[in-house]
């Protein structure tokens, strides 16, 4: 049996945040059904926008970092810089690892069929990304909501979806719609909404040096687009008791 078709029962440990409250879906006398992930994995993989080649070319990466050090007038042979190309190369593997994550593996044992059609909200998901214009970080938090149409995903998986799209060279607008589109493809919900707030180091450290370089972006589908009450419920929830972003 393939991973994508494995059956799994819903458990209490797979808590889900609904309408702002953490609730249990299963109380031991389950009336939820054994479920399986829908099998259109192809569309899910497509929505993950992966890079299909092998791993990163660390030889080229290391050489390039060394070239940059030389080009800015530094001495790549001095003690402090000697291992910098190696360190930066390994760091990119981690910071830009989202291009090569397997989205099906990531979520496939955490998709559950439930008879629940109220809003599911996961807010304040911390993330770290890299702006593609300057290759400097932008960091912030994402708020994700959806209205299920028979399927939900385990609470812990939503931050991993955000992470998959954050760990790339990004622009915040695209990252926001990629998260929304991916969840749309994964769950086929009645609606999905994503709001991302972030601070961009490229604006804070350089150019205009705006220390409050905060940006908010949103992407909505389905109910959140067509139904004002649904949208307001979401916005009201995420604005409640939110601390301002800071570094």
Q: Which of 133, 206, 210, 211 binds Zn ion (CB under 5 A)?
A: 133
Distance CA 108, CA 164 (A): 15
* Element containing residue 122 per DSSP (H, E): strand 120-131
Q: Does residue 206 touch Zn ion according to CB under 5 A? A: no
Would you give the DSSP letter of residue 199? E
DSSP assigned state of 247: -
# residues near Zn ion by CB under 5 A: 4
- Is 90 a binder of Zn ion (CB under 5 A)? no
Question: Is 132 a catalytic site residue?
Answer: yes
Residue 6 CA neighbour count, 13 Å, CB half: 13
Q: What are phi and psi of 41, to 5 degrees?
A: -60, -30
Q: Is 202 in the site for Zn ion (CB under 5 A)?
A: yes
| Minimum CB–partner distance for residue 226 and Zn ion (Å) | 34
Q: What is d(CA 214, CA 54) in angstroms, rounded to the nearest whole number?
A: 35
CB of 198 to Zn ion, least distance (A): 11
Is residue 49 annotated as part of the catalytic site, yes or no? Answer: no
Residue in 49, 134, 214, 225 binding Zn ion, rule: CB under 5 A: 134
CA gyration radius for the chain? 21
Out of 48, 69, 111, 131, the only residue in the binding site for Zn ion (CB under 5 A) is 131
Q: Which residues are catalytic?
A: 131-134, 172, 200, 202
Q: Which residues are at the interface with Zn ion (CB under 5 A)?
A: 131, 133-134, 202
């Amino acid at each position: 049996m393939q991973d994508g078709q494995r059956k799994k029962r819903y458990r209490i440990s797979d808590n889900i945040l609904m309408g702002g409250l953490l609730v249990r879906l299963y109380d031991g006398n389950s009336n939820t059904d054994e479920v399986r992930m829908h099998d259109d994995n192809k569309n899910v993989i497509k929505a993950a926008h992966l890079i299909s080649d092998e791993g990163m070319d660390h030889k080229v990466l290391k050489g390039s970092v060394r070239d940059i050090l030389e080009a800015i007038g530094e001495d790549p042979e001095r003690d402090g810089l000697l291992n910098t190309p190696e360190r930066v190369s390994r760091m990119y593997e981690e910071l830009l690892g989202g291009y090569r994550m397997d989205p099906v593996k990531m979520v496939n044992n955490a998709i559950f069929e439930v008879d629940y059609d109220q809003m599911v909200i996961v807010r304040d998901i911390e993330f770290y990304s890299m702006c593609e214009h300057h290759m400097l970080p932008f960091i912030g938090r994402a708020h994700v909501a959806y209205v299920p149409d028979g399927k939900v995903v385990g609470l812990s998986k939503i931050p991993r979806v955000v992470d998959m799209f954050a760990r790339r060279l990004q622009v915040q607008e695209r990252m926001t719609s990629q998260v929304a589109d991916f969840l749309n493809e994964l769950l086929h919900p009645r609606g999905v909404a994503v709001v991302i707030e972030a601070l961009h180091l490229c604006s804070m450290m350089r150019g205009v040096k705006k220390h409050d370089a905060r940006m908010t972006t949103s992407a909505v589908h389905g109910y959140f687009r067509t139904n004002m009450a649904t949208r307001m419920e979401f916005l009201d929830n995420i604005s409640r008791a939110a601390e301002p972003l800071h570094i």
